[in-house]
Amino acid sequence: MDVLNGEVLAYSVSELNKMPVATYAEAMHLKVDSGGVQAGWRALARRLERELRAAKSAHRLAAGEVLLPADLLPRVAREALRLSDPEPCGLRGCTLHVNLETGDTCRRVSTIKLDSDTVSTFELYLTLRQDLSSWHSLLPQFLKNLTRGSTVVISPRFSLDKKKLYRSYLE
């Protein structure tokens, strides 16, 4: 953990992995409040990565291998933090639904409640899309079957939609 004048600047990956969910969510919320969002989006990107790995292990992704662009999860995390900034509880009040769109079907692969001790004030719907224009889609099917099951290549494009679960007096 890097600290300057009592303010946490960044957490190491091992520290984030050891954090309980509430502390993890508070760390993300504190980073948004203090203006230093780097630790927040990194923590959220790491959490998304763990959830996608768990979904793959539980066969909710129906793929032997999932290939993501290197910058996809950090971009998703930064956008989620931006959308959570005006919310009363920040990212702690978020429930994130992760969907995967393959061809003409879209299925939920994970639901992440970022802080189980905080009532959800909004939901984010993340839709990841299969990249059908990648080099991988040009390979003949029999070559794909020689690899570890089916491989899903995720597009760098995504959608992140927000749904508020409350109404404010200003609206």
Q: Is residue 148 part of a domain?
A: yes
Residue 148 has a pLDDT of: 53
Cβ atoms of 8 and 2 within 8 Å: the answer is yes
Specify the amino acid at residue 99: N
Cβ atoms of 107 and 100 within 8 Å: the answer is yes
Most confident of 9-23, 35-49, 148-162: 148-162
What CATH number corresponds to the domain at position 108?
Answer: 3.90.470.40
pLDDT over 50 at 14, yes or no: no
The pLDDT tens digits of the residues spanning 57-89 come to: 887 776 677 889 999 999 999 999 999 999 999
Most confident of 34-43, 126-135, 148-157: 126-135
Q: Which of 51, 109, 49, 122 is nearest to 81 (CA)?
A: 122
Q: Is residue 69 part of a domain?
A: yes
Q: Is residue 80 part of a domain?
A: yes
Residue 73 has a pLDDT of: 96
Range of the domain at 118: 2-164
Task: Work out whether strand 65-67 and strand 105-113 pair parallel, antiparallel, or are unpaired.
Answer: unpaired
Q: Is residue 129 part of a domain?
A: yes
pTM value is 0.71
pLDDT over 80 at 135, yes or no: no
Q: Is residue 169 part of a domain?
A: no
The pLDDT tens digits of the residues spanning 76-133 come to: 999 999 999 999 999 999 999 999 998 888 999 999 999 999 999 999 999 999 987 7
Q: Which of 98, 163, 118, 158 is nearest to 24 (CA)?
A: 118
Structure tokens at 80: 């989620």
Q: Is residue 118 part of a domain?
A: yes
Mean pLDDT value of segment 137-153: 61
Q: Residue-wise over 120-146: b if at least 16 C-beta within 10 A, else e?
A: bbbbbebebbbbeeeebeeeeeeeeee
Q: Is residue 170 part of a domain?
A: no
